[in-house]
Each structure stands twice: as C-alpha cells, then as structure tokens.
C-alpha cells in the first residue's frame, strides 16, 4: 500500500472511531440506576456484583481497547493465556486492595493512565519501540498497566459509597464478574482477530489499525485530563 492510500485508510478508520465515540463515552461508568441499587444494598449480594463486574468490563471501552492491543499479535493460545493472566493479576491486586484498604486516587488521572496504556500498546504493535531501538519488557508492561486498570475499577466502586456490611464478598464477586466479562469480551475479540488474520490484508492493515487504537488512547487521555481540570 502506498503512503497516500495508507493515510486515507487511517483517516477513514479514525472517523469510524469518532462516530461511535460519543455514545460509547456516555455509556461507560456505572449507570445511575446501578449506582442507586448498589447504595441500597446492605449485606452480601453475590449475583448483582458478579453482573455489575461483568457489565463494567464488557461495556468498558478503555479496558477493551487495551485488550485488543495486548492480543493483537498473540497467535498462540498459550501466549494469550499468559498475557491475559498477567493483566488479570495486575488489575485484581489493585481492585481488591484499593477498595478493601480504601486507597483513593483521582479517577480522572487513573483513567488518563489507562488511556496512556492503550497508546503504549498501540505504539508497541506499530513497531515503534523496534524503530527506536529499545525493547521494554512486554510482560512487565502488561502487568503494570493492569495495576492501573484495576485501580480505575476501584475508583469507580469507591464513588458508590459501598456498604461495609458484606464488603469483601461483594468486591470479590465484582472481581470475578470482571474476569467473566473479560473472558466473554476476549472470546469475541479473538474470534474477530482470528478470522481477520486468516485474510491476506491483516498484516498490511495492522499498522493502520494500531494507529486507530493509538488515536483512541489519545482521546481517552484528553477526555480524562480535561475532566481533571474542568471538574
């Protein structure tokens, strides 16, 4: 593909992302109705928290964009399992630890770092680090960004003023729900990627796709940083 064509595809793809962006942005977070429900709970509520965790992951475009970046070039199930496990370990530590020990952080800053994680992974997939001649440890990066994703989940839950009664069971339920939702989302992403990889255009479009991913990450960062200064 020559350069003008490549840039053209980039723009088309970016506009597509833009088209779905506003509705996706409005959809994320914990909805007001769910929030009211959570605040009305007093005691253990396993199924509702499982559901909320899964829903948060499946509708959480920031987590999904990062996952797409992580498994974009992972062909072997063993590698998918390894990297997803690292991500899961990272976000579980901070989700459970953040809520149970009441570690608080500004949600906008955490979400901006999550946006940065998407930019980072996209840049890596584009061969950016190879061009720069550096080889950051990809496993460590996934693990560390996983810590931030979990902290992001924790800040969302902390905004809800969770009842202390049954807190541990409820948070663990939420965490397991997150993993169930992640499994569902990963399955869908893997099916799509596997189908796409089998087609001749995959590698030639990989660069453009990751550029779109990067644009999405930049948007998340700008969105959250503006929120930090405006709110």
Partner 1 sequence: MSELADRPASSGVPSSRTLATATAVALVVAAVILATIVLPAEYGVDPLGTGAATGLIGLSQTQPPPIVASESGPVRPQPVDYKVDTRQFTLEPYGGYVEYKYQLAAGATMLYSWTATGEVNFDLHTEPAGQPSSASDSFERGAAREGRGSYTAPYDGIHGWFWENAGDDPVTVTVTTVGFYTAAREFRDDGSTAEHAIRDVVLPPGPSPAP
Cβ at position 210, least distance to partner 1 in Å: 8
Query: Of these, 131, 134, 198, 199, which contacts partner 1 (CB under 8 A)?
Result: 131
Asked if residue 126 binds partner 1 (CB under 8 A), the reply is yes
d(CA 121, CA 142): 9
The binding track of 45-84 with respect to partner 1, each residue x by CB under 8 A or -, is ----------------------------xxxx--x--xx-
Whole-angstrom Cα distance, residue 95 to residue 59? 17
Choose between 14 and 189: whose C-beta lies nearer to partner 1. Answer: 14
* Pair 109, 165: CB distance under 8 Å: no
Is 134 strand, coil or helix?
A: coil
Quote the CA–CA distance of 75 and 129 in Å, as a whole number.
Answer: 20
C-beta neighbour count of 231 within 10 angstroms: 8
Q: Which residues, 6+ apart, have CB-to-CB distance to 30 below 8 Å?
A: 38, 52, 56, 156, 157, 159, 160
* Shortest distance in whole angstroms from residue 46 CB to partner 1: 34
Q: Rounded to whole angstroms, how far apart are CA atoms 131 and 174?
A: 41
Q: Does 177 bind partner 1 (CB under 8 A)?
A: no
Q: Which of 2, 3, 33, 198 touches partner 1 by CB under 8 A?
A: 3
* Residue 178 C-beta: closest distance to partner 1, Å: 24
Which residues contact partner 1 by CB under 8 A?
Answer: 3, 7, 10-11, 14, 17-18, 21-22, 25-26, 73-76, 79, 82-83, 119, 122-128, 130-131, 138, 203, 206-208, 211-212, 214-219, 221-223, 226-227, 230-231
């Amino acid at each position: 593909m020559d350069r003008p064509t490549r840039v053209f595809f980039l723009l088309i793809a970016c506009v597509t992302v833009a088209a779905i962006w506003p509705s996706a942005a409005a959809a994320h977070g914990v909805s007001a109705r769910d929030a009211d429900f959570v605040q009305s709970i007093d005691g253990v509520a396993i199924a509702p928290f499982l559901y909320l965790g899964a829903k948060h992951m499946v509708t959480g475009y920031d987590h999904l964009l990062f996952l797409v970046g992580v498994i974009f070039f992972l062909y072997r199930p063993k590698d998918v399992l390894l990297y997803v496990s690292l991500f899961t370990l990272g976000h579980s530590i901070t989700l459970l630890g953040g809520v149970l020990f009441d570690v608080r952080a500004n949600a906008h800053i955490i979400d901006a770092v999550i946006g940065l994680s998407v930019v980072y992974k996209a840049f890596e997939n584009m061969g950016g680090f190879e061009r720069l001649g550096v080889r950051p440890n990809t496993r460590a990066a996934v693990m560390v960004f996983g810590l931030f994703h979990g902290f992001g989940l924790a800040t969302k839950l902390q905004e809800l003023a969770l009842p202390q009664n049954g807190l541990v069971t409820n948070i663990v339920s939420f965490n397991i729900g997150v993993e169930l939702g992640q499994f569902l989302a990963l399955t869908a992403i893997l099916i799509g990627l596997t189908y796409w990889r089998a087609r001749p255009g995959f590698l030639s479009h990989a660069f453009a796709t990751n550029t779109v991913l990067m644009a999405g990450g930049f948007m998340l960062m700008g969105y959250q940083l503006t929120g930090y200064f405006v709110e």
